[in-house]
Amino acid sequence: MLSPLDKQLLNNYQQEFPLSPRPYLSIAEALGTTEEVVLEAYRQLSHQQFISRIGPIIQANNIGLSSLVAMAIPDAQLLNVANTVSSFAEVNHNYEREHHFNLWFVLIANDQQHLQWTVGEIERQTGFSAMQLPLLEDYFINLGFQLDLEDKTPQVLSPA
């Protein structure tokens, strides 16, 4: 079960994460708690797999190159292959689709050579081929979501 603090951290800082020398302190001050409480809450959210990372999402091909990649993986091996794919720092995110090509992910690399090397290494480690789908037209999809907060009024939270 998510605490009110957890919900505020997930709702309020998906897209407006503070750009400051101590962003967790900035969050704590805005929520009326301490930096340590905020850091521990994020650690727990990560441990419980509510979040996988905190970091920027940079528009495709503004820094380096990116490619959408699809793989056809037998259901029994999908989780293991997805975990292997996710272990690459170049993978932005991956997800399952209901299709013959059921594992999709976005790769970001410094240049074309690095991109091709990474695809090749994923194929080598998984034993499955990957189909690259280059970006032809750029679309922005807001990946944020709003959790249902019982009390819609702002809350001041004190340390646990």
Mean pLDDT of 32-56: 92
Domain limits for position 126: 65-133
Indicate if 80 and 106 belong to the same structural domain. Answer: yes
Indicate if 125 and 70 belong to the same structural domain. Answer: yes
Q: Which pLDDT value is given to residue 160? A: 42
Q: Does residue 23 lie in a domain region?
A: yes
Indicate if 40 and 69 belong to the same structural domain. Answer: no
Model confidence pLDDT, tens digit, residues 63-115 = 678 899 999 999 999 999 999 999 999 998 889 999 999 999 999 899 999 99
Indicate if 85 and 128 belong to the same structural domain. Answer: yes
The CATH code of the domain that includes 79 is 3.30.70.3460
Q: pTM for this one?
A: 0.58
Calpha distance 112→90 (Å, rounded): 13
Indicate if 82 and 117 belong to the same structural domain. Answer: yes
Query: Is there a contact between 41 and 35 (Cβ–Cβ < 8 Å)?
Result: no
Indicate if 72 and 38 belong to the same structural domain. Answer: no
Q: Which pLDDT value is given to residue 132? A: 96
Q: Which pLDDT value is given to residue 61? A: 60
Indicate if 85 and 123 belong to the same structural domain. Answer: yes
CA dihedral for 130, 70, 117, 84, sign (positive or negative): negative
Q: Does residue 39 lie in a domain region?
A: yes
Q: Does residue 155 lie in a domain region?
A: no
Query: Is there a contact between 107 and 118 (Cβ–Cβ < 8 Å)?
Result: yes
Count: domains in the chain:
2
**Length in residues, the chain:** 160
21 secondary structure, DSSP code: S
Mean pLDDT of 22-29: 96
Query: Is there a contact between 28 and 34 (Cβ–Cβ < 8 Å)?
Result: yes
pLDDT category of residue 62 using cuts at 50, 70 and 90: low
Q: Which pLDDT value is given to residue 112? A: 92
